[in-house]
Amino acid sequence: MFRISAIAALAASCGVAAAVPDVVCGTLDDVQHYGVVGDVRAYAVGTTACNAGDVNLNWIDGSPNHPVISCTIYKLKDGRLEQLGVTFVKHSFASLQGNACGFGCGSGGTFQALGPGCSDPYGAGLNGGQTGLGPRSEINAFNGQFVYPFTTINQSGNAIFKRIQVPAAEMPDAAAQFFVEGQYTIKDEIQANGQPYIDPSTGRPVNWNNASYERMNVQASGTASTTGATFRGRPAIYAWQDHGNGTNNPDLSVEIVEVPVPDEGLLHVACKVTDLGDGTWRYDYAVHNQNSDLNVGSFSVPNGGSASDFYFNDIDHHDGPDSLISGDDWAPVEGAGSVSWSCDSFIGNPNANAIRWGTMYNFSFVSDAAPVDGEVTVGMWKLPGMQLTANVQVPGAGVCIADLTGDGMLDFFDVSAFLNAFNAQDPAADFDDNGMYDFFDVSAFLNAFNAGCP
């Protein structure tokens, strides 16, 4: 919400007003389809930035003092939302002074500064212009810092080079819904103490509202256009909830939880549980990293039952230095009482397939344990000791994890089953879920055994 009137009133009453910068992705506009190379289809999407703050925002070409623009495409089908692909970031170079967001553009803006209340459009042709597209890996999306000039400046290539790249087999698809997300990143939103300014009208950091999404129409030829309203300040992970039962028909069974990273960025965790009608449930989770530079390196779900039909989805990083980022899938590990996924450690592999800013990964499995309220755990890649939690539904109703034989009783046979699994280094004996088999697993099993079954 534009705040000039509120700040002016405050200034009149007390003589002091805090100037708060705040860029938002105001609208998502035209879509350019660049065709297919190999098995990859490429797009670019036009975006319009709006200055929802009270001071000019720097839009200076040839310097690190300008915002960068990221666009991504998502697909919703069969009850699951997935991210299909990402673009390099567009380095903005000049600002116009429109009023696309209806905030009331005043005077004071220039070609190199977006004025309060004003908007600046970049069409798909600009956002897809290859020479001005820079690597995502060179952007700290939390504080807006990047090195300029970026490494791929003035580089061009084939039709898909540096643009939004999606698997050609995934779209078009008449049975699916598609969405595009736009996100602006600018260092003006960060105070001298390294923390973002706070929106006085909401009490939230101003860099939490930088992503917006809109629906896409995709034709059989692959050409596409945006349609409907822009969900301003709402990242595309919310499309799962907003359109889960069809266009503008919400699926209220989808849970979405904000997970703030202490003194840093913002994550989202989403969950949907589907009763398969045969005594099992499908648990679908998504983890979205909006702007954390720490990135996500692990994800764990408590599971009181037996898990099967594991599923994982990520995106492919591409071109220039971003092509060095690993595409290795996260393998599921079923321990005693949990299912976990992780990538290589940051120390061991700085190019590991972590959940980097502006991306969303999916994790899914089928369990014979009914859903209950619980906590999933998200581990930060660059700070592995930082484990964050989100309260969502998890499998676990009435299951006794020490009952390794599954007969509903705790007895000698469960002890024997544990010892056999322990000696074989079977994940069923990894009771503390750390990938090692030691005294702590024995202790955890004995504690669970002594606690009895519910």
User: Residue 363 sits in a domain of what CATH number?
Assistant: 2.60.40.2110
Same domain, 230 and 268: no
Structural domain contains residue 10: yes
Single residue among 203, 230, 249 that ends a domain in this structure = 249
Structural domain contains residue 36: yes
How does residue 397 score in pLDDT terms, banded at 50, 70 and 90?
A: low
In this prediction, residue 435 carries a pLDDT of: 78
CA–CA separation, 164 and 317 (whole Å): 10
Quick one: tokens of 179? Answer: 């969405």
Element (H, E) at 311: strand 307-313
Interval 204-213: pLDDT, tens: 999 999 999 9
Same domain, 202 and 312: no
- Give the whole-number percent of the chain exceeding pLDDT 90: 85
Higher pLDDT, 226 or 18: 226
In this prediction, residue 399 carries a pLDDT of: 53
In this predicted structure, the answer to whether residue 14 has a pLDDT above a threshold of 80 is no
Structural domain contains residue 406: no
Assign residue 367 a region: left if phi > 0, alpha if psi is -120 to 50, beta otherwise? Answer: beta
SS3 264: coil
When divided into structural domains, the chain yields a total of 3
Which DSSP state fits 244?
B
Distances (CA, A) of 437 to 151, 239, 434, 449: 45, 42, 8, 18
CA–CA separation, 270 and 263 (whole Å): 22
- 244 and 60 in contact (C-beta within 8 Å)? no
Structural domain contains residue 66: yes
In this predicted structure, the answer to whether residue 406 has a pLDDT above a threshold of 80 is no
Same domain, 213 and 275: no
How does residue 402 score in pLDDT terms, banded at 50, 70 and 90?
A: confident
Same domain, 238 and 259: no
Same domain, 17 and 159: yes
Same domain, 205 and 303: no
Structural domain contains residue 417: yes
Residue 360 CA neighbour count, 13 Å, CB half: 31
In this predicted structure, the answer to whether residue 359 has a pLDDT above a threshold of 70 is yes
Structural domain contains residue 418: yes
201 residue type, one letter: S
Same domain, 236 and 326: no
In this prediction, residue 6 carries a pLDDT of: 38
In this prediction, residue 166 carries a pLDDT of: 99
CA–CA separation, 4 and 55 (whole Å): 9
Same domain, 239 and 260: no
Single residue among 222, 249, 276 that ends a domain in this structure = 249
Interval 228-254: pLDDT, tens: 999 999 999 999 999 999 999 999 999
Domain that includes residue 88, residue range:
1-249
Single residue among 230, 249, 268 that ends a domain in this structure = 249
Closest CA to 36 of 168, 225, 217: 168
Structural domain contains residue 83: yes
Same domain, 223 and 308: no
Quick one: tokens of 244? Answer: 């889960």
Strand segments (E) across 127-170: 133-134, 139-140, 145-146, 164-167
Look up the pTM and report it: 0.86
Structural domain contains residue 405: no
Mean pLDDT for all residues in the chain: 94
Same domain, 1 and 103: yes
Which DSSP state fits 190?
B
In this predicted structure, the answer to whether residue 15 has a pLDDT above a threshold of 60 is no
Same domain, 262 and 240: no
Over residues 387-405, mean pLDDT: 85
Over residues 151-173, mean pLDDT: 98
Closest CA to 432 of 411, 409, 448: 448
In this predicted structure, the answer to whether residue 5 has a pLDDT above a threshold of 70 is no
Same domain, 104 and 233: yes
